[in-house]
């Protein structure tokens, strides 16, 4: 019988038929060193992403078992947005450490252990993977690069953190933290929202370099300039307007709470 997984990969996806199998192959190829859990949430894909996932899981069932990989999955009846899919994945997860893994080829799952180890070893509570630090492979489209830089700058001013990449997908959390944040963003607002909440906790936040290989809209990228504008509102709201009582669920460990939480 498998022990509780050390890590849960939260994998929301929408219309990723061309990327899912390659992502899963790369995840299973990694020598994790501990039990892991894959949590898939299909946000009502209009292609055959769900069927591809089911076929892959059947074909690789023995390999998953041998490598101590368990699977949870859920399919939304209607499209609700990435933020809602992440929230659902969190409720389905059981791992000690949680990380969001987009179902594309922009990030390297092989770098996840670097982000997870500081939390499992008790040296950090949250670890951000930065695409803008001087290590790994980085390639950026100009408008996305400056957009991310601007949003990170605004987030840092509002939150008091000193990050280089607030919008990164690779944010790694101790379960006690992420599972007890009262997340409300429905689309791509998860990144500025969760960053704002993390900044209100008495925790250790690290940022480590990761690689990045951006894809274009023809390859399935979904975020647009409208989401960038919405992110600015999320930064303002969740840092300066959201009340203390709205930020966290009752289960948040008291050791993480500041004596007086801003907000």
pLDDT level of residue 228 (50, 70, 90 thresholds): confident
**pTM passes above 0.75:** yes
pLDDT value for 188 = 84
Q: Locate tokens 């990723």: which residue?
A: 16
| Burial annotation 29-54 (CB, 10 A radius, 16+ → b, else e) | ebebebbbbbbbbbbebeeebbebbe
**What domains are defined for the chain?**
1-105 (3.90.550.10), 113-263 (no CATH)
pLDDT per position as a tens digit, 88-125: 999 999 999 999 999 988 999 999 999 999 999 999 99
- CA–centroid distance for 53 within its chain: 20
Helices (H), 174-214: 175-178, 190-198
pLDDT per position as a tens digit, 142-169: 567 889 999 999 999 999 999 999 999 9
Q: How many residues are given for the chain?
A: 263
At CB < 8 A and 24+ separation, what contacts does 217-221 make?
Answer: 219/18, 219/104, 220/15, 220/16, 220/18, 220/19, 220/104, 221/104
């Amino acid at each position: 019988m498998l022990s509780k997984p050390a890590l849960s990969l939260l994998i929301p996806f929408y219309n990723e038929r061309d990327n899912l199998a390659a992502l899963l192959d790369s995840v299973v190829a990694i020598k994790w060193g501990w039990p892991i859990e894959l949590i898939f949430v299909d946000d009502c894909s209009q292609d055959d992403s769900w069927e591809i996932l089911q076929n892959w899981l059947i074909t690789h069932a023995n390999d998953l078992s041998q490598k101590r990989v368990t699977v949870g999955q859920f399919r939304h009846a209607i499209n609700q947005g990435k933020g809602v899919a992440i929230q659902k994945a969190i409720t389905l997860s059981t791992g000690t450490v949680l990380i969001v893994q987009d179902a594309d080829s922009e990030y390297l799952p092989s770098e996840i252990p670097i982000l997870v180890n500081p939390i499992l070893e008790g040296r950090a509570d949250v670890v951000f993977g930065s695409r803008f630090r001087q290590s790994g492979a980085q390639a950026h489209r100009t408008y996305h690069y400056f957009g991310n830089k601007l949003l990170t700058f605004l987030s840092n001013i509002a939150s008091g953190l000193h990050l280089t990449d607030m919008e990164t997908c690779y944010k790694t959390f101790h379960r006690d933290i992420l599972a007890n944040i009262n997340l409300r963003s429905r689309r791509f607002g998860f990144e500025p929202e969760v960053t704002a909440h993390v900044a209100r906790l008495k925790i250790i936040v690290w940022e480590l370099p990761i690689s990045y290989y951006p894809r274009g809209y023809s390859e399935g990228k979904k975020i647009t300039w409208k989401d960038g504008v919405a992110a600015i509102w999320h930064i303002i709201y969740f840092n300066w307007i959201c009340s203390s009582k709205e930020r966290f669920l009752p289960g948040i460990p008291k050791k993480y709470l500041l004596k007086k939480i801003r907000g």
